[in-house]
Structures are given as structure tokens and as C-alpha cells.
């Protein structure tokens, strides 16, 4: 799922990570491997947000999915693996 700049900000307020800018040199390769998404790096690895329904109030939500884990403690490389739900759900309501 590709997020708007407002949704990226909103997501980062709920999820401690860093969004890769669209013009980062690695984004085209990541998009080729994983599809058209906004990519986030955190302490565990590389993540995306996938739609996950809505809150009781009807606001859309997304689940954080880990696509790759850091290979070592120095975070010098990522090892891709099967998409892994992290259990973290973020609110995606731009109006909120």
C-alpha cells in the first residue's frame, strides 16, 4: 500500500520507524521485489503497511508487515523472508 505524505506522518506517530523517501535509490528495487508500497525501516527490519479493515468507529486501519529482517546487530544488511505480520495495527484515517 502506497501512503500519502499525510498518512506516512500519521503512521510514524504510531509506529517507531523511518519511512524511505520515494527518491531513495533502493526504492525501485524494493518495489520490484515487493510491489508498490511505502517502505519503513525499524529496529527489526523492513516493513510495509497492508489494509486491515477498520476501527469500530469506521476509520480504516493497516497492519504492519515485516518483509525483511536485519542480518546482524549492526544493521548492515537485510535478509528478505515471507511476509510476517507484526501484530501492530495503525489507524489510517487522514481526517483524524
Kindly report, residue by residue over 4-57, the tens digit of the pLDDT: 999 999 999 999 999 999 999 999 999 999 999 999 999 999 999 999 988 778
Beta bridge partners of 41: 18, 46
pTM over 0.75: yes
Burial class from Cβ neighbours inside 10 Å (0-12, 13-18, 19+) for residue 88 reads: middle
d(CA 6, CA 11): 9
d(CA 28, CA 24): 8
Which has more confidence, 36 or 94? 36
**Phi and psi for 35 in degrees, rounded to 5?**
100, 180
pLDDT of residue 58: 83
Helix, strand, or coil (residue 43): coil
Amino acid at each position: 500500500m502506497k501512503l500519502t505524505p499525510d498518512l506516512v506522518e500519521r503512521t510514524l506517530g504510531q509506529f517507531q520507524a523511518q519511512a524511505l523517501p520515494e527518491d531513495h535509490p533502493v526504492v525501485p528495487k524494493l518495489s520490484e521485489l515487493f510491489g508498490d508500497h511505502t517502505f519503513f525501516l525499524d529496529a527489526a527490519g523492513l516493513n510495509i503497511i497492508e489494509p486491515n479493515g477498520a476501527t469500530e468507529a469506521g476509520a480504516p486501519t493497516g497492519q504492519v508487515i515485516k518483509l525483511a529482517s536485519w542480518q546482524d546487530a549492526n544493521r548492515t544488511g537485510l535478509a528478505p523472508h515471507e511476509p510476517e505480520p507484526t501484530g501492530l495495527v495503525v489507524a489510517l484515517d487522514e481526517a483524524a
